[in-house]
Amino acid sequence: MRLLLPALAALVITAPAMAQQARPAPVLTTPEAKDVWTHAEPQVARVTHVDLDLDVSFESKTLSGRALLDILPSPGAKQIVLDVDDLDITEVTTADRKPLRYTVGPRDKELGSALTIDLPATGNQIAIRYSTKPGASALQWLSPELTAGKKLPYLFSQGQPINNRSWIPTQDSPGVRQTWSATLTVPDGFVAVMSGERLDGAKGELVPHQKRRFRFKMDKPVPSYLIAMAVGDLAFKATGPRSGVWSEPSMVEGAAYEVGDVEKMIDAAEALYGPCRWGRYDMLVLPPSFPFGGMENPTLTFLTPTIITGDRSNTDVVAHELAHSWSGNLVTNATWSDSWLNEGFTTYFENRIMEAVYGKERAAMYADLDWDGLQSDITDAGGQAAPTTRLHGDPGATAGQLDYFKGSTFLRTIERAVGRERFDAYLRSYFDRHAFQPQTTAGFLADIRKNLIRGDGALEDKLQLDRWAYQPGLPENAVHVQSATLAKVDAQLAAVKAGGPVSAVDPKGWATQQWLRFLNGLPRQQTPARLKELDETLLLSGSTNAYVRSAWAELAIANRYDPALNSIQVFVNSVGRGLLIRPIYEGLMKQGEWGQPIAKRFFEGARSTYHPVTAAQIEKIVNK
């Protein structure tokens, strides 16, 4: 059940900074919607709008300035609780600079601190003046040497899941949606971009002291993790009337080619589930240290450069982040215990976009490979009974990419049971009903029962909804889509596994997914001679495809194959995407006295090139 906080309706309508929205997005108050990863108490008092005015200093590696928050208290509320992580707070006042009493609680190494502020006697705005620390977990400051152009430093943020509290003092929970506006002041010669509407031209406005000012706004309520920014030597190239690519100048042409089908994807997505409500769909291709494949920041998806392979075989990443414009950004998991509502829905939707643009077989290839990933995640978790194979569970505890793979398989199973046309109509209505609202697993199950199952007991029994959502493992009604393209790869793989020569393999024209099917399907135990044959015949160590390099590294490490180590070291020093480098470090650590010193040596050399999120993950792996 979705409930609005006790509302002061007149306050919501008349407050000047709330002009963008007639009323704030709801906050869920059901037990399942309680977010254990926030200090905030939004049922008492909540943030509805954030206005940032920040100066970017590459010299000190800090952001400094002011956050002005619009507050909506419940009747009788005396304080508001925010999330912060290692911010240097210098002043908390009303909008007209009258001091407000505040306390910063002890710092939890995972959740940061609670910032508790006495509410003003009059008015609904709080101003916080502060600066970030150089080690802020959401921010990565890159030296010029770590960029493509090698001329200017670079800054970017990564907020998901709870890192934005290290640069924005607000209620950092996906269940608390807020509008925002921002002014970034940067050194002259730099360009700033953000995940909102640009209010100035591409070069901003020149201001005193050789600086430029860029202004942005987001007038639709979003969870705070979707506030994102980047500053660097950036150029733009349009890919269509609603889309374009930002990147460093030397990369912009290649990036624009790689994502050149994005307008077709937007058309396909809108035909499926209704208009995209965010305006533009621009993309930013970041330096290699970006920790993820993509991040679905509204109006400005962040993308890893590892998708640029010149053949558009990794455009599923673009389709995935576009699909988040509905599943995740429009309807958002209320807590990170339900991240499958973002990622599972989006993986299913992504596949439908790929089918519409590239055909059924291309989509089948992705779905079949996801099935492989699902089986692997279940095995690695400890089998069908492992608690971490549940969709709804402890936040951050789900095995591998199971939120993506099991979640999308769940929806595909429902589609097969009720028919595509009926399921599409339901999903379109679901996004409309819950637009700009948080959601829980219980909320989704109640909605599908009311609006799709409608009391059909036989269909309820067939779907096994509760088992999919709350029980471990994979129900027996799971739908496995099989690809004819990958079946041909399997035939060549079988010949090699039977002892046939690698030279008989014909990888000409293989997309990333075919390479992965082959390499991941090879037995983990190989002789040095066979590894040498694989490497020299298929040119694995010198591949320019990051997915291929990562899969080859895993196989080589599993066999303690020393000749591949130089290539692996170069790879982990040049790629910061966690999906591609985590398995390498994990594999090395599993190799005991041979691999553990290598893992620590590689990490020591590469750590400074990783985003803080990735560095923290790898540090946990190598220090086990």
Q: Which residues contact 307 (CB under 8 A, 6 or more apart)?
A: 258, 293, 294, 314, 315, 317, 318
Fold designation for 331-470: Neutral Protease; domain 2 (1.10.390)
What pLDDT, on the 0 to 100 scale, is given for residue 34? 96
pLDDT tens, position by position, 485-532:
999 999 999 999 999 999 999 999 999 999 999 999 999 999 999 999
235-240 sheet: strands from edge to edge: 235-240, 243-247, 281-285, 300-303, 294-295
Q: Which two tokens stand for residue 354?
A: 């790929």
**Helix, strand, coil proportions of the chain in percent (round to 5)?**
40, 20, 35
154-157 sheet: strands from edge to edge: 139-142, 154-157, 229-232, 191-194
For residue 246, list its beta bridge partners.
Answer: 236, 284
Question: Would you call 404 a catalytic residue per the annotation?
Answer: yes
Residue 18 has pLDDT above 60, yes or no: no
> 404, 547, 561, 610: which is the annotated catalytic residue?
404
Cα of first residue to Cα of last residue in the chain, in angstroms, is: 42
Q: How far apart are CA 100 and CA 128, in angstroms?
A: 10
Domains 331-470 and 499-505+514-622 share a fold: no
Provide the percentage of residues in the chain whose pLDDT is more than 90. 91
pLDDT tens, position by position, 204-252:
999 999 999 999 999 999 999 999 999 999 999 999 999 999 999 999 9
Distances (CA, A) of 130 to 62, 67, 166, 339: 10, 8, 11, 31
Q: Whole-model pTM above 0.75?
A: yes
Q: What single DSSP character describes residue 449?
A: I
Q: Which residues contact 239 (CB under 8 A, 6 or more apart)?
A: 245, 256, 259, 260, 262, 263
Question: Would you call 225 a catalytic residue per the annotation?
Answer: no
What pLDDT, on the 0 to 100 scale, is given for residue 14? 30
Residue 13 has pLDDT above 50, yes or no: no
**581-586 mean pLDDT:** 97
Q: How confident is the model at residue 175 (pLDDT cuts 50, 70, 90)?
A: very high
Residue 268 CB neighbour total at 10 angstroms: 20
Residue 193 has pLDDT above 80, yes or no: yes
Residue 542 CB neighbour total at 10 angstroms: 10
Taking alpha carbons only, the member of 147, 196, 409, 153 closest to residue 299 is 196
Phi and psi (nearest 5°) for 121? -65, -35
Q: Are 147 and 154 in contact (CB under 8 A)?
A: yes
For residue 302, list its beta bridge partners.
Answer: 284, 295
Distances (CA, A) of 356 to 261, 268, 349, 361, 604: 12, 6, 11, 11, 45
**101-113 mean pLDDT:** 97
Q: How far apart are CA 278 and CA 443, in angstroms?
A: 24
Q: How confident is the model at residue 533 (pLDDT cuts 50, 70, 90)?
A: very high
> 248, 258, 321, 355: which is the annotated catalytic residue?
321
What pLDDT, on the 0 to 100 scale, is given for residue 281? 98
For residue 141, list its beta bridge partners.
Answer: 155
What pLDDT, on the 0 to 100 scale, is given for residue 313? 84
Domain ranges of the chain: 331-470, 499-505+514-622
Q: How far apart are CA 42 and CA 439, in angstroms?
A: 16
- Give the three-state DSSP class for 294: strand
Domain 499-505+514-622 has CATH 1.25.40.320: yes
Residue 16 has pLDDT above 80, yes or no: no
Q: Which two tokens stand for residue 129?
A: 């003046």
Q: How far apart are CA 205 and CA 215, in angstroms?
A: 9
Q: Are 611 and 290 in contact (CB under 8 A)?
A: yes
**372-395 mean pLDDT:** 96
Mean pLDDT of the chain: 94
What pLDDT, on the 0 to 100 scale, is given for residue 291? 87
Identity (one letter) of the amino acid at 223?
A: P
pLDDT tens, position by position, 239-288:
999 999 999 999 999 999 999 999 999 999 999 999 999 999 999 999 98
pLDDT tens, position by position, 146-170:
898 999 999 999 999 999 999 999 9
What pLDDT, on the 0 to 100 scale, is given for residue 433? 97
- What string of DSSP letters covers 210-230? TEEEEEEEEEEEEEGGG--EE
What pLDDT, on the 0 to 100 scale, is given for residue 624? 80
Residue 19 has pLDDT above 60, yes or no: no
